[in-house]
Amino acid sequence: MNIILLGPPGAGKGTQADALAKRRGLVQLSTGDMLRAAVRAGTDIGKRADAVMKAGGLVSDEIVIGIISERIDKPDCASGFILDGFPRTLKQAAALGLLLVSKGKTLDAVIELKVDDTVLVGRVEKRAAETLAAGGTVRADDNAETLKSRLLAYYRETSPLIGYYFALDQLKTVDGMASIGDVASQIDTILDGGS
C-alpha cells in the first residue's frame, strides 16, 4: 500500500506517518528528513538545499524527485510506503505518477490532513519547545518567522495538489484538528475501505 499524506506545515503529517508506518509495516519517506540528513552530512544536495530550507522555500523539483525515485527502489519499500512532504508541487506530483507507473507501483490513497491555519504557528512552536525540552536540536526552520514563508510556499505550490488529486478521484480528507488518536482512526477507516 502506497500513500501520500498532504497538509500544511504543522498539520501532523510526520506524527501520523510515523504511527501509520508502525501500524501497517510501511516505510515512512519524509523528504524533509532526507534533506536534513543531507545537510548534516554536507553532501552536494545538502549544500544546495541548506539555505533554501532555512528560508522556508522549496528545494528544486529535480533534487527531490531524484531523491524519491532512488529511495522507492530500495527493497524495504516493496511492502509499501507513506510519502510525507512529497509531492509538494504539481511538477512533483506528475513526476511521481510517471515514476510509479514505470516501476509498476500504484498509489492507493492521498490523505489530506485538514487543519485551521490559526493553529499552525502554535503547533510548530510547541514542537520546537518539546524538542528542546527533550534535549534535541530544534529544526532551523521551526520558528514563527520562517513558518510564514513555509505557509506561503504551501499555499502557492502545494495546495493545488488537493484539487489535482480530487480530480483524479484519489483524495480523501480527514479532520486534522481532532486528537492524534482520532486522526489515526480516521486514516485507518479510509485505508480499510470506509469513507
Question: Are the CB atoms for 66 and 31 separated by under 8 Å?
Answer: no
Q: How far is the CB of 188 from ligand AMP (least distance, A)?
A: 23
Of 39 and 174, which CB lies nearer to ligand AMP in the complex structure? 39
For residues 187 and 174, what is the distance between their CA atoms, to the nearest angstrom?
A: 7
Size of the site for ligand AMP (CB under 6 A): 18
Site string for ligand AMP, 56-95 (x = CB under 6 A): xxxx----x--------------------xx-x---x---
| Coarse DSSP helix, strand, coil percentages of the chain, rounded to the nearest 5 percent | 60, 10, 30
Report how far residue 111's alpha carbon sits from residue 2's, in angstroms, rounded to the nearest whole number: 11
Which residues on neighbouring strands pair with residue 3, listed in sequence order? 82, 109
Q: For the CB of residue 192, give the shortest distance to ligand AMP in the complex, in Å.
A: 26
Provide the mask over 21-40, with x wherever binding to ligand AMP is found by CB under 6 A and - wherever it is not: ---------xxx--x-----
In the complex, minimum distance from the CB of residue 54 to ligand AMP, in angstroms, rounded to a whole number: 8
Contacts of 65 (CB under 8 A, 6+ apart): 91, 92, 95, 96, 99
Provide the minimum distance between the beta carbon of 193 and ligand AMP in the complex, in angstroms, as a whole number.
28
CB of 57 or CB of 80, closer to ligand AMP: 57
Shortest Cβ distance from residue 85 to ligand AMP (Å)? Answer: 3
Q: Does 8 bind ligand AMP (CB under 6 A)?
A: no
Three-class DSSP category at 145: helix
In contact, 182 and 15? CB cutoff 8 Å? no
- Nearest-CB residue to ligand AMP? 32
Instruction: Say which residue the cell 519524509 belongs to.
Output: 30
Q: Say how far apart CA 18 and CA 11 lie, in whole Å.
A: 14
C-alpha 130/C-alpha 101 separation (Å) is 40
Q: Which stretch binds ligand AMP (CB under 6 A): 21-29, 52-60, 98-106, 127-135?
A: 52-60
**Can you give the binding site for ligand AMP, defined by CB under 6 A?**
9, 30-32, 35, 52-53, 56-59, 64, 85-86, 88, 92, 141, 150
